[in-house]
Structure 1
Amino acid sequence: MPSSSHGSEIATIETLSCNAGWRNYHFLKITTTDGTVGWSEYDEDFGPRGMTEVIQRYAPMFIGGDVMNHEQVYTRVAATARPAPYGMTAEVFGALENAMLDAKARILGVPVYDLLGGKHRDSIQVYWSHCASWRISHPNHYGSKVSDLAGVTATGQEARDRGFTAVKTNMFQYGPNGPKSWGSGFGNPYEPGLNVDRTLIRDVVKHVDALRSGVGDDIEILIDLNFNARTEGYLRLIRALEEFDLLWVELDLYNPDALALIRQHATMPIASCETLFGVRQFLPYLTKQSIDVGIVDVVWNGVWQSMKIANTAEAFDVNVAPHNFYSHLATAMSAHFAAAVPNLRIMEHDVDRLTYDDDLFTGTPTVENGRMTVPSGPGWGIEPIEEEIRRRPPVLRTNYLGIEKYRCPPTVAATKRWIAMMRE
């Protein structure tokens, strides 16, 4: 890797992870030859497993690269993965890109948004993501357990009282034991046909109706249907939800033609694409007019590449929204992106947090009346506190929505032995 002579070359690359209750947080740290540190967050719990190992394999290719010339560093290494440019390799490159941006901004003494062309806004409208959802699925970690429709309504009332102007929830089925998350697209429950029946539709409608009762008529509601249906199932759900006049229906399909068909028949805006990488993967959804809002994951893509996606979306008169449900560091990263793009719709923000989330970082997001203040200061404006991260070692996830509370084995061989032992 070509290097410079002014101390901004990457000298070391490290990864750190910590227990985050029902998942883990993952961080990447680069240190330049002059001692500048750049941070990013990456995702291993909801993308393919093994990201940390792949980062370690690619790290030597980034060592010596000049963070002041981050686009060349990124492009040179990305060229080596041209036969398989998406998925885990793209996430690795995104994590390195984000850390390089942080380091470069710190060297220059400016916020990252200055590297992106400057900010269009000092504060960003945010929606309360997973509103009631986390309190149903993870009450042991977030408190305020929601066990019935009345609890959903109460959470909506809380969102209104706290000044939020928009909330997003998810799909739930209601049985004799209360609400349960519906995530068939992720094998929870396992229903490979991804069929949507009348009972589930009624439960989803009841859930949204209860939330509407809490937030009132003036607060926007969004719903995330994820990968949990096929084309006809999404259309049935959307028709059933028409009465709520939602800000958007969010759903995921790797078929831009099918999504375009859904959008043509929907009476509400369609948001999608949070799992896509780069302009090339977004382009078919834009050219086929499949989406009203393009959701961009800056943790996966890298903020510099995400700006390219946003600029392309603007040419098709499509606004973007960051996909953001990680830790405070990712929130800061997403906020810099949201401040810099002109075609912003709204930003995702998880309000329910772990009791120790604030202890992990040098700063926390500031939200008032449904708007987040754009972080100031060099780089992202906050950074992880390494001692606090290391105090909470990561644990091994064994399913999509829960964690077995055991410390992660350090090697693949140890992991296999650990799994065998747990199955005995």
Structure 2
Amino acid sequence: MNIARIETFFVRPRWLFVRVETDDGLVGWGEPIVEGRAEAVASVVEALADRLIGTDASRIEDHWQVMTKGGFYRGGPVLSSAVAGIDQALWDLKGKALGVPVYELLGGAVRDKARVYTWIGGDSAQALAEDALRAKANGFDAVKCNGSAQLGPIETAGQVHRIVDQFTELRSAVGDDFDFAIDFHGRFSTAMARRVLPLLEPLFPLFVEETVLPEFSRDLAQVTAGTSIPIATGERLYSRWDYRDVLSTGIAVAQPDLSHAGGISEVRRIAAMAEAYDVALAPHCPLGPIALAASLQVDFASPNFLIQEQSLGIHYNEGNDLLDYLVDPAVFAFTDGYVQRPTGPGLGIDIDEAAVRKAAKDPHRWRNEIWRLKDGSFAEW
């Protein structure tokens, strides 16, 4: 089962897929992507292919070691994401070759279904509450939303109150038997996090995500010590070494991204490291169906799994959505806030290759917005 061909496909709304084919005709799929930097990741996939073509596809760990370390210069989101997508595809191939889901190769399932949450938006507290109630009516019992727009290093009392008031209204609307998580996208300074988080404590958010930028991850102990709210982070950490200094800061939830943090191989290791620190796993995944399928394989094999992000209906998905490139969308049927354990071989999904090839003829060139503060200076998006 030697690797014969590696192809990448830019598919809307903002995804990059990789297809790995063996000399006996077996096909595995992965999703290597840095949102807004897809072209760079595709180039690295092409470079890595030079080492992979003609080699045994079943030697996943050896390939992972060579891809991450064999080029002398290591690390960073672009390389790690290219590795992640290829790694997903190799696990998909191995599972298909053996006729079992990937989680069986990771030690077997530890649960029958996985809890998922959905994204909501809203330009006002009322709109946010209405979107949450709509999600609740659609069967979800947990949502996530952004905590704010642009923020300065230390904001006014009015801005602080607006943040707290919108989530007070949200909690009032959904009741206490419904969870919401808040994503601040690194827009807080440490000082702002210490000021705002205690005010949110009476609302019992499931977790608050990325309160500060990843550059300040080592200083998260200052944030966690100042609040009882579970702190989540990790979508912009790309390896177990990145997590080494973070897991001991008192965070509650680790959020590695299966398309950024070295794929199934590395996220499985990060999950095990997190378990040793009493930290739960909630993989980051506002991406496409392959990334979600890979995430679920790790979720079903990880004892410390908490909840899974998924992108159906997310604001990024304009024109195309999570289920568009699947032969059978039912594999991602969300019922009462859960998704059932997939039973198909490999990643447990069938990619509609014809739809992917057709979409790739009209490739995206997605870029995130650039935000600025009132004084014209750069603001974290």
Aligned match for 2:4, one of 5, 11, 16: 11
Is residue 333–residue 380 contact of structure 1 (8 Å, CA) maintained in 2?
A: yes
SS at match of 2:327: coil
Tell me whether 1:293 sits opposite 2:253 in the alignment: yes
Mapped to 1, the partners of 2:358 and 2:86 lie a distance apart of 24
State the shift of 1:249 in Å: 1.1
**Alignment-mate amino acid for residue 256 of structure 2:** V
State the shift of 1:46 in Å: 4.7
**Alignment-mate amino acid for residue 47 of structure 2:** R
Aligned match for 1:90, one of 80, 83, 96: 80
Alignment of 1:323-338 (within 5 A): 323-338=284-299
Give the structure 2 partner of residue 99 of structure 1: 89
State the shift of 1:227 in Å: 1.1
Alignment of 1:164-313 (within 5 A): 164-172=140-148, 182-183=149-150, 194-251=153-210, 252-286=213-247, 288-301=248-261, 302-313=263-274
Is residue 231–residue 252 contact of structure 2 (8 Å, CA) maintained in 1?
A: yes
Deviations 1:89-127 (A, max 9, x none): 111111111110001111111111111111111210112
Q: Name stretches of at least 5 consecutive residues in structure 2 with no aligned partner.
A: 372-381
Is residue 164–residue 369 contact of structure 1 (8 Å, CA) maintained in 2?
A: yes
Please say which of residues 263-272 and 67-76 is displaced more in the overlay.
Answer: 67-76
Q: CA 1:207/1:363 → structure 2, altered by over 3 Å: closer, same or farther?
A: farther
SS at match of 1:208: helix
Aligned match for 2:25, one of 28, 35, 38: 35
Q: What is the total number of aligned residue pairs between the two structures?
A: 360
Give the structure 1 partner of residue 327 of structure 2: 362
Mapped to 1, the partners of 2:265 and 2:74 lie a distance apart of 20
Deviations 1:340-379 (A, max 9, x none): 1111111112342657533311232111001111222111
Mapped to 2, the partners of 1:384 and 1:11 lie a distance apart of 19
State the shift of 1:84 in Å: 2.4
SS at match of 2:6: strand
Is residue 274–residue 297 contact of structure 1 (8 Å, CA) maintained in 2?
A: yes
Give the structure 1 partner of residue 378 of structure 2: none
Give the structure 1 partner of residue 354 of structure 2: 387
**Alignment-mate amino acid for residue 326 of structure 2:** F
Q: CA 1:103/1:243 → structure 2, altered by over 3 Å: closer, same or farther?
A: same
Mapped to 2, the partners of 1:219 and 1:311 lie a distance apart of 28
SS at match of 1:202: helix
**Alignment-mate amino acid for residue 151 of structure 1:** A
Aligned match for 1:314, one of 275, 289, 292: 275
Give the structure 2 partner of residue 344 of structure 1: 305
Mapped to 2, the partners of 1:51 and 1:370 lie a distance apart of 33
State the shift of 1:259 in Å: 0.5
Mapped to 2, the partners of 1:171 and 1:66 lie a distance apart of 46
Root-mean-square deviation (CA), in Å? Answer: 2.1
Tell me whether 1:377 sits opposite 2:336 in the alignment: no
Is residue 41–residue 299 contact of structure 1 (8 Å, CA) maintained in 2?
A: yes
SS at match of 1:397: coil
Is residue 279–residue 304 contact of structure 2 (8 Å, CA) maintained in 1?
A: yes
State the shift of 1:45 in Å: 1.8
Mapped to 2, the partners of 1:15 and 1:49 lie a distance apart of 10
Question: When the two structures are superposed, what TM-score results if normalisation uses the length of structure 2?
Answer: 0.88
**Alignment-mate amino acid for residue 82 of structure 2:** V
Give the structure 2 partner of residue 151 of structure 1: 127
Mapped to 1, the partners of 2:194 and 2:273 lie a distance apart of 28
Is residue 40–residue 330 contact of structure 1 (8 Å, CA) maintained in 2?
A: yes
SS at match of 1:281: helix
Mapped to 1, the partners of 2:44 and 2:50 lie a distance apart of 11
Mapped to 2, the partners of 1:201 and 1:388 lie a distance apart of 46
Is residue 249–residue 270 contact of structure 1 (8 Å, CA) maintained in 2?
A: yes
Is residue 111–residue 380 contact of structure 1 (8 Å, CA) maintained in 2?
A: yes
Mapped to 2, the partners of 1:385 and 1:12 lie a distance apart of 18
Mapped to 1, the partners of 2:238 and 2:136 lie a distance apart of 35
Q: Which has the larger radius of gyration?
A: 1
Deviations 1:297-352 (A, max 9, x none): 11112111111111111112211111111112221111111101111111112342
Deviations 1:205-254 (A, max 9, x none): 23222322332221112101111021001112212312211111111433
Q: CA 1:88/1:368 → structure 2, altered by over 3 Å: closer, same or farther?
A: same
State the shift of 1:60 in Å: 0.7
Mapped to 2, the partners of 1:73 and 1:377 lie a distance apart of 24
Is residue 331–residue 349 contact of structure 1 (8 Å, CA) maintained in 2?
A: yes
**Alignment-mate amino acid for residue 171 of structure 2:** R
**Alignment-mate amino acid for residue 86 of structure 1:** G
Mapped to 2, the partners of 1:114 and 1:401 lie a distance apart of 43
Deviations 1:127-186 (A, max 9, x none): 22x21x2xx4xxxxxxxxxx54332222121222223222111123xxxxxxxxx156xx
Question: When the two structures are superposed, what TM-score results if normalisation uses the length of structure 1?
Answer: 0.80
Give the structure 1 partner of residue 374 of structure 2: none
Is residue 155–residue 214 contact of structure 1 (8 Å, CA) maintained in 2?
A: no
